[in-house]
Amino acid sequence: MSLFKRSVVSEIFNHSSVVLSTLIVVWLSVILVRLLGEAAAGRIGSDVVIGLATFTTIAALPIILTVSLFIGVLTTVTRNYRESEMVVWFSSGLSLLNWINPIARVAVPVSMLIAFLTLFATPWANLQIEEYRARYELRSDLSKITPGKFLETENGGRVFFVEEGATDDGTLGQVFMRLIDPEWLVLVTASSARTVTEKNGDRFLVLEQGHRYDLKPGTPEMRLAEFDAFGVRIENKDGPQSLDNARNKARDNRRARSTALLLSDKELNSWGQIMWRLALPLAALNLALMALPLGAVNPRIGRSGDLLIAGLVAMLYLNLINLSQGWILSGKLPFSIGVWLVHAVFGACAAALLWHRLRIKAPKPPVQLVTS
């Protein structure tokens, strides 16, 4: 490999790596904040936050890699123009066409990696995410209770709040519970609580030394009771059959289905998902090649305008892919056309821009002075 190709490949790889690491850190920060918020609200367990963040990052890697490659190539080309290195390469007999080979040496392997991720790794990661959430929904109400936090179950029908127990035998501390049935609003307070499992497998949360207040909304009717022990049945959803149902429900999500299952399915939703999985590797190649003419700038002009235009082009490309997927899902666009249409349009635009950059304008003829 020549010095020119080695330097270009190395620089593109370095710039893309920096952008990739930065985007992953930003993505993880955003997703961790969101997942911690869901865990605090009781929608997911705090023990699965790291796992969900990992699988969500794997699912987002194709987009992150595509953007990183585009920015890496764009930054490399722009820097060579800004620092007048491109003049040196042009003086050595090279042109913009000679940049295609080193760009392809980086873009093709990255596109192959993106294809592997979209076709195999991303569906598996989405399946793991769906199973994580489905298994959490199968947990009993008691297993979701976290001391010091409110927990809402049964779509708001039950609300629990417990304090940390004073003993280490699993006994909970003071308990507040709100129950809603068709006629009554029930408030229960207790000094402690424990779990009891009957011989038939039924589980109960037994509240001890407390009070129960029954209120009928819209009426002055009210009942007050003091109890030594008050049992609330806990629905136990765990079991092999329930877990199988949860996994089958997770597979109903098209994003979580394997590519082989999607190919065997004849529904429009499946073809739309296949189009998306094939589109990202092609988009990565197209954007990498399009960054070459987009990065050709005038050193005397500010760089912000050119980078803004390049960013808008990349956003337009990805949004048109989403639009094509939506048209395939709705039946407005056949899969055989939608799978290549956007890529052909942007490929033609990249070729036109490159031809425009390569075109050398003829010098203007000298002005002839007419003397009388």
Pairwise CA distance, residues 46 & 143, whole Å: 12
Q: Is residue 20 part of a domain?
A: yes
| Confidence band for 168, pLDDT divided at 50, 70 and 90 | low
What is the arithmetic mean of pLDDT over 31-58? Answer: 86
Q: Is residue 363 part of a domain?
A: no
**End residue of a domain, out of 219, 236, 253:** 236
What is the arithmetic mean of pLDDT over 311-320? Answer: 92
For residues 163 and 231, state if they share a domain: yes
Total domains in the chain come to: 2
| Residue 262: per-residue pLDDT | 87
Which residue type, as a one-letter code, is found at position 120?
F
| Residue 308: per-residue pLDDT | 80
| Residue 67: per-residue pLDDT | 94
| Confidence band for 304, pLDDT divided at 50, 70 and 90 | low
Most confident stretch, 83-97, 226-240, 271-285: 271-285
| Residue 167: per-residue pLDDT | 58
| Residue 2: per-residue pLDDT | 80
Query: For 223-256, b where at least 16 C-beta lie within 10 A, e where not — what string?
Result: eeeeeeebebebebbeeeeeeeebeeebbeebbb
Q: Average pLDDT of the chain?
A: 83
Distance from CA of residue 212 to its chain's centroid? Answer: 46
| Residue 58: per-residue pLDDT | 95
Name the residue range of residue 304's domain: 3-138+245-358
For residues 120 and 28, state if they share a domain: yes
Q: Is residue 365 part of a domain?
A: no
Pairwise CA distance, residues 96 & 80, whole Å: 12
Task: Tell me: pLDDT of 116 over 90.
Answer: yes
Task: Tell me: pLDDT of 361 over 60.
Answer: no
Write the burial class of residue 213 (CB in 10 Å: 0-12 exposed, 13-18 middle, 19+ buried): middle
What is the arithmetic mean of pLDDT over 287-310? Answer: 77
The residues facing 194 across adjacent strands are 206
| Confidence band for 70, pLDDT divided at 50, 70 and 90 | very high
pLDDT, one tens digit per residue, over 215-226 is: 888 888 888 889
pLDDT, one tens digit per residue, over 260-290 is: 888 887 777 889 899 999 999 999 999 999 9
Residue 231 parent element (H or E): strand 222-234
For residues 114 and 160, state if they share a domain: no
CA nearest to 1, candidates 102, 84, 125: 102
| Residue 217: per-residue pLDDT | 83
For residues 265 and 118, state if they share a domain: yes
| Residue 46: per-residue pLDDT | 77
